Amino acid sequence: MDDDFITIDGSLGEGGGSILRLSAGFSFLFNKPIKIINIRANRPKPGLRLQHLLGLKLLSELTGSTLSHCEVGTKELTFFPGNEIFKDNIDVRVSTAASIGLLVQPIQIASLRILKPPQVKINIEGGGTFGKWAPSLNYLKHVTYPIFKKMGVEFQVNIKKYGFYPKGNGLTELCLFPGRNKLKPILLTELGSIDQIKGEIILANLLKKTKPKIGEKIRNSIKNNLRKYINTDVDIIYKWVYSTSPGVGLSLWALTDSGALISTGTILGERHIPSQKLGIFSSEELMKYINNDIPVDEYLSDQLIPLMAYAKGSSKIKVKEVTSHTITNLELIRKFSGREFKIQQFNKGYTIEYL
């Protein structure tokens, strides 16, 4: 029986949750059952965490797949992929501040196989719209999903309520539009000229009484620091939002004449970091890509590589560095797709190509 499975060692590389998310999404995408062992074996709390469990159950319910009995702490599981997405509307309840951006990653991958229904709506009650080491929904909305659309796959995210750690309590509507176009390869190896830099600073209203000027201070710090490096239009907004936990989340991204969208990813404010330093840090993060002619940031590359492996034809992107996390993902995806990839180093960055 085990011969029918692709067996995945969950302690591979960094041994994190991305192994679970990618494996489950690709299991459905390529219609190959999987067995995952040693789940997060090297982590302080090994086994499934609640956010991983919720993501697996969501994928299973949405696609009619069979997931073995799982609970928090489970170290081994099996997943038999179903044949189709047979629900066009599904509700999910997240009782923690688990990242919604990570929760939906397996769905993003799995949906590439689906031709109908024309729209799938996922209503997520709870969870974090911002979180450490995870793409915020703002980042997905302004960077990831516009690039996905260039490849022929469409997702829309509507943030109805923002959620910060520790309570979460976000409210999100995610819409998938399966089967609209054939997935196209992508070429992002040149940054091009910067047309405009945009940004969004989200501030929980719980901070308004004690820090009424924080948004303005962060924005001014970003603009002042960027002026030292680049002469282009900078449009940064800040807005106060209702949230049950205090928090600050921001992203900067640059629009280019090559079609690239380069970004800082998600940056979180913390108590010990003054507004001015947060602004300087975020602008420096953006400039490290611009100064090195890098068109794909490290957060976007994680999102793009699964699509590149599935798209027919050659895809190629240029990144600043190839981390052990990236290598783990590439090797894992090869188990399903059988496709070879090539990494080439340059003076300023690396290219990753699917042949």
Token reading at 345: 């180093």
pLDDT in tens, 128-151: 999 888 899 999 999 999 999 999
> Cβ of 188: how many Cβ atoms within 10 Å?
26
Phi-psi region of 192 (alpha: psi -120 to 50; beta: other; left: phi over 0): left
**Mean pLDDT of the chain, nearest integer:** 92
- Domain of residue 334, CATH code: 3.30.110.140
Q: Tell me how many domains the chain contains.
A: 4
Q: Which of 139, 164, 182 is the last residue of a domain?
A: 182
What whole-number distance in Å separates Cα of residue 330 and Cα of residue 97? 29
Contacts of 348 (CB under 8 A, 6+ apart): 292, 293, 294, 320
| pTM for this model (two decimals) | 0.92
What whole-number distance in Å separates Cα of residue 283 and Cα of residue 222? 6
The domain containing residue 273 runs over which residues?
190-290
Same domain, residue pair 36 and 123:
no
Token reading at 74: 């489970």
Q: What pLDDT shows up at residue 4?
A: 81
- Report, as an integer, the average pLDDT of 141-164: 94
Same domain, residue pair 223 and 195:
yes
Same domain, residue pair 219 and 239:
yes
Same domain, residue pair 194 and 285:
yes
Question: How many residues are listed for the chain in this entry?
Answer: 355
Same domain, residue pair 209 and 286:
yes
Same domain, residue pair 145 and 117:
yes
SS3 14: coil
- Say which residue, 44 or 246, is predicted with more confidence: 246
- Catalytic residue (one of 52, 69, 272, 325): 325
Q: What pLDDT shows up at residue 2?
A: 56
What whole-number distance in Å separates Cα of residue 254 and Cα of residue 235? 10
Half-sphere exposure of 9 toward its Cβ, with a 13 Å CA cutoff? Answer: 7
What whole-number distance in Å separates Cα of residue 353 and Cα of residue 183? 16
What whole-number distance in Å separates Cα of residue 188 and Cα of residue 50? 35
pLDDT in tens, 88-114: 889 999 999 999 999 999 989 988 887
Token reading at 41: 């074996």
First-to-final CA distance of the chain = 33
pLDDT in tens, 285-299: 999 999 999 999 999
- Domain of residue 132, CATH code: 3.65.10.20
Convert 231-250 to b/e letters by CB count within 10 Å (16 or more is b): eeebebebebbebbbbbbbb
Same domain, residue pair 331 and 245:
no
Q: What pLDDT shows up at residue 86?
A: 66
Same domain, residue pair 283 and 301:
no
At CA 77, angle to CA 130 and CA 304, rounded to 5?
Answer: 45
Q: What percent of the chain has pLDDT over 70?
A: 97
Same domain, residue pair 101 and 177:
yes
- Domain of residue 277, CATH code: 3.30.360.20
Burial class (CB in 10 A: 0-12, 13-18, 19+), 93: exposed
Residue 12 clears pLDDT 60, i.e. is over it: yes
Q: Which of 135, 158, 182 is the last residue of a domain?
A: 182
Same domain, residue pair 102 and 150:
yes
pLDDT in tens, 191-202: 999 999 999 999
The sign of the dihedral angle between the CA atoms of 302, 156, 65, 83 is negative
Same domain, residue pair 74 and 146:
no
Q: What pLDDT shows up at residue 16?
A: 80
Question: Does 272 qualify as catalytic in the annotation?
Answer: no
Q: Which of 240, 265, 290 is the last residue of a domain?
A: 290
Same domain, residue pair 242 and 271:
yes
Q: Which helix (H) or strand (E) holds 334?
A: helix 324-337
